[in-house]
Amino acid sequence: MTFLEALAKQRWDDHRYYHHSRINQSLHFFSALSFIGAYVFIFLEPTVAVLLAWLVAMPVRQIGHFFFEPRDYDEANQATHEYKEEIKVGYNLRRKVVLLTIWMCCPLLLLLDPTLLGLFEAHTNWRAFADNVSILWLTLAGAALVGRSVQLFFLRDVQTGIVWFTKILTDPFHDLELYHKAPLHVLRGELVDPIVPHRTA
């Protein structure tokens, strides 16, 4: 496959396997708006950008996956939840739990050791604390993206890793296009997306 074909396939697999719930889709829509806001703020006020991404966009996004996405047998794709978790290219639920646990521990580490073994200047107020937390969270985001991409180089191939990296960075824009009607469906009581089993990329 070409790069764009592989990107389209990863996006389609992500949608058809992990976004059956219209509530989950709606949360992804609002998360996408928050991430795009973070992309803008990263050039204006980096701390605000990181806090917006990690305190709003990420929790909203993951709530949809953990609490609203069905875990029973996927009739549309003829797949079990366990199978989908096994073949997930990016972060499946188990990996997300690890990532989110590290995320939650970052502020606690700075409260226990404000310099974090001498890496930071100790905070003297809440703004300085937020700045230090944002640096940790930005580092965590970079490590999570680059780490999984490099891991995919060895588990799959280099193109898969680069495609996944590109997909993650562009997901907010794609999610806006894909899920902008999801809140309206929820208001109509249409809570499950009748995903077509097969589609050509």
Which amino acid would we find at residue 141?
A: A
| Res 42: pLDDT | 94
**DSSP 3-state of 192:** strand
Distance (Å, rounded) from C-alpha 166 to C-alpha 149?
10
| Res 194: pLDDT | 87
| Res 197: pLDDT | 56
- Residue 169's H or E segment, with its range, is helix 158-179
**Residue appearing with tokens 């973070």:** 38
Distance (Å, rounded) from C-alpha 172 to C-alpha 180?
11
- 72 backbone dihedrals φ, ψ, rounded to 5°: -80, -175
Distance (Å, rounded) from C-alpha 163 to C-alpha 8?
9
| Res 196: pLDDT | 60
| Res 198: pLDDT | 47
Encoded tokens for 78: 């003829």
| Res 184: pLDDT | 97
Distance (Å, rounded) from C-alpha 61 to C-alpha 53?
10
**DSSP 3-state of 79:** strand
User: Nearest-5° angle of CA 165, CA 153, CA 89?
Assistant: 55
Distance (Å, rounded) from C-alpha 43 to C-alpha 57?
18
**DSSP 3-state of 74:** strand
Q: Treating both helix axes as pointing N-terminal to C-terminal, what angle do 158-179 and 126-155 enclose, rounded to 10 degrees?
A: 120
| Res 199: pLDDT | 46
pTM of this prediction? 0.91
User: Which residues are within 8 A (CB) of 156 and not within 5 positions of it... i.e. 6 or more apart?
Assistant: 89
pLDDT in single tens digits along all 201 residues of the chain: 899 999 999 999 999 999 999 999 999 999 999 999 999 999 999 999 999 999 999 999 999 999 999 999 998 899 999 999 999 999 999 999 999 999 999 999 999 999 999 999 999 999 999 999 999 999 999 999 999 999 999 999 999 999 999 999 999 999 999 999 999 999 999 999 987 654 433
